[in-house]
């Protein structure tokens, strides 16, 4: 098939590369000329394991191409995927200006039948607005052309996006058109051979499915963080609780790891957008609001523990930070807990020495040159001269450490672990003060004078 994808961000690029790798001819369109020029040279603007190789191989095989020419892109494919950003508006609702701009572009240049596919995460009712935008543009042209709009939400985890696209549990398509169903079956046939993954439903149900899935996962995270906060105050160990409840197949182990809050491009904005949609129709989404409130509070946990360890005297201190990305195997720092921590430390007059295997350039892009931020060459370099260590991201390279070395290197033996990477008894046996999340480790009397 010949397929056009508008947007070369995370979703658009992964979708385009995977569909091209399955044998389709794919053209990705973006208005950013510099970005398109780099993509043509095989330079990938995001870090995602395996994506660079996939793009380079399929560009070389001439199955994947990039353009800034909207007319060329619309003419290219029968299937027109919209995969542009839907950032949160000031009130938390999804901003659809880019989605609707693409819809009008398609209406402006199309000259035969098209299936317009909403791949971006969009609120319920967006397909109707996309249809109206295209129809309105065709009317302005005086053109009578047939087209369909369907919803095909993505379910990609950053760090495992290619695996999720090629071996995902389901492929959701919102449409009631037999013609669209046939074309989408053809599109996804390479990934639908062993097990029937295609799930056809009405458009609004498909749009809601995406938000419901992310809200459910975010709810599990916030629930475990709530229980972790209880465990900490009750002297219980949340890791033992996690194993106890995760063994129940009705609950399972996925997304029940406590920590310093969720971040990234999906959960924060999607929970907010769904809550905003509910409010707009007069429904009070109490659970969704609570999920967001718990997460916002959880992001302050790391600074709170560190501030407590130093009796509120953080001015002039230097803090080593391991992990900047919101999760491993990505360079994405959107809504990352590390950002809340660092900004709180700077406000308190502290300095930060940070290291992340992939997100260093992204951190520099966000914060630029600062006298109170040093981006270290490695995890050990971040420790030099530091008063304490905070772990924000559970990269594998942080899981195995020499605690005796940490005890000797840090000016004060304080570790705040936002991802529960270590066993408390082992760390404390090395002479370190170790504060994790929900492990019964509230500061004891006499430990406050760490410094």
What does the alpha-carbon distance between residue 198 and residue 169 come to, in Å, rounded to a whole number? 9
Q: How far apart are CA 10 and CA 206, in angstroms?
A: 20
Please provide residue 174's backbone torsions phi and psi, each rounded to the nearest 5 degrees.
Answer: -100, 110
Q: What angle do CA 337, 343, 344 make, to 5 degrees?
A: 90
8 A C-beta contact, residue 238 and residue 437 = yes
Determine whether 266 is an active site residue: yes
Q: Can you tell me the distance from the alpha carbon of 393 to that of 257, in angstroms, rounded to the nearest whole number?
A: 13
On whether the CB atoms of residues 58 and 24 are closer than 8 A, the answer is no
Q: What is the 3-state secondary structure (H, E, C) of 56-70?
A: HHHHHCCCEEEECCH
Which helix H or strand E contains 233, and what residues bound it?
A: helix 203-234
Q: What angle (nearest 5°) sits at the alpha carbon of residue 268, between those of residues 199 and 44?
A: 75
Report the alpha-carbon angle 325-31-276, nearest 5: 55
For 354, half-sphere exposure in the C-beta direction (CA atoms, 13 angstrom radius) is: 29
3-state secondary structure 133-182: HHHHHHHHHCCCCCEEEEECCCCCCCCCHHHHHHHCCCEEEECCCHHHHH
Give me the catalytic one of 28, 150, 187, 266. Answer: 266
Catalytic residues: 266
């Amino acid at each position: 098939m010949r397929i056009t994808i508008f947007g070369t961000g995370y979703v658009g690029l992964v979708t385009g590369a995977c569909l091209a790798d399955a044998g389709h001819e794919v053209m990705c369109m973006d208005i950013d000329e510099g970005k398109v020029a780099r993509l043509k040279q095989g330079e990938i603007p995001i870090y995602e394991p395996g994506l660079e190789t996939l793009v380079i191989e399929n560009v070389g095989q001439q199955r994947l191409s990039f353009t800034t020419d909207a007319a060329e892109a619309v003419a290219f494919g029968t299937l027109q995927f919209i995969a542009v950003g839907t950032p949160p508006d000031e009130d938390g609702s999804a901003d659809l200006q880019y989605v609707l701009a693409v819809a009008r572009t398609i209406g402006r240049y199309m000259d035969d039948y098209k299936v317009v596919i909403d791949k971006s995460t969009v609120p319920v009712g967006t397909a109707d607005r996309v249809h109206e935008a295209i129809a309105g543009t065709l009317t302005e042209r005086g053109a009578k052309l047939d087209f369909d709009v369907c919803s095909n939400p993505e379910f990609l985890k950053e760090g495992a996006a290619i695996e999720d696209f090629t071996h995902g549990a389901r492929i959701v398509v919102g449409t009631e058109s037999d013609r669209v169903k046939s074309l989408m079956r053809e599109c996804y046939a390479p990934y639908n051979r062993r097990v029937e993954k295609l799930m056809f439903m009405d458009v609004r149900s498909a749009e809601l499915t995406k938000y419901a899935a992310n809200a459910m996962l975010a709810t599990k995270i916030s629930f475990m963080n709530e229980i972790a906060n209880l465990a900490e105050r009750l002297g219980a160990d949340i890791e033992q609780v996690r194993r106890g409840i995760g063994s129940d197949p009705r609950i399972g182990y996925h997304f029940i790891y406590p920590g310093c809050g969720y971040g990234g491009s999906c959960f924060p904005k999607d929970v907010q957008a769904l809550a905003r949609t509910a409010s707009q129709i007069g429904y009070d989404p109490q659970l969704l609001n609570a999920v967001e409130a718990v997460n916002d509070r959880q992001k302050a946990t790391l600074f709170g523990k560190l501030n407590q360890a130093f009796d509120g005297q953080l001015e002039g201190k230097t803090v080593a930070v391991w992990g900047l990305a919101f999760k491993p195997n990505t360079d994405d720092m959107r809504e990352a807990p590390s950002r809340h921590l660092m900004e709180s430390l700077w406000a308190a007059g502290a300095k930060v020495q940070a290291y992340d295997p992939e997100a260093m350039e992204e951190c520099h892009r966000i914060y630029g040159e600062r006298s109170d931020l040093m981006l270290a060459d490695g995890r050990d370099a971040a420790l030099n001269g530091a008063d304490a260590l905070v772990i924000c991201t559970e990269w594998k390279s942080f899981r195995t450490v020499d605690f005796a070395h940490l005890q000797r290197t840090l000016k004060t033996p304080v570790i705040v672990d936002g991802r529960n990477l270590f066993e408390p008894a082992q760390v404390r046996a090395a002479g370190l003060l170790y504060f994790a999340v929900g492990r019964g480790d509230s500061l004891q009397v006499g430990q406050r004078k760490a410094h």
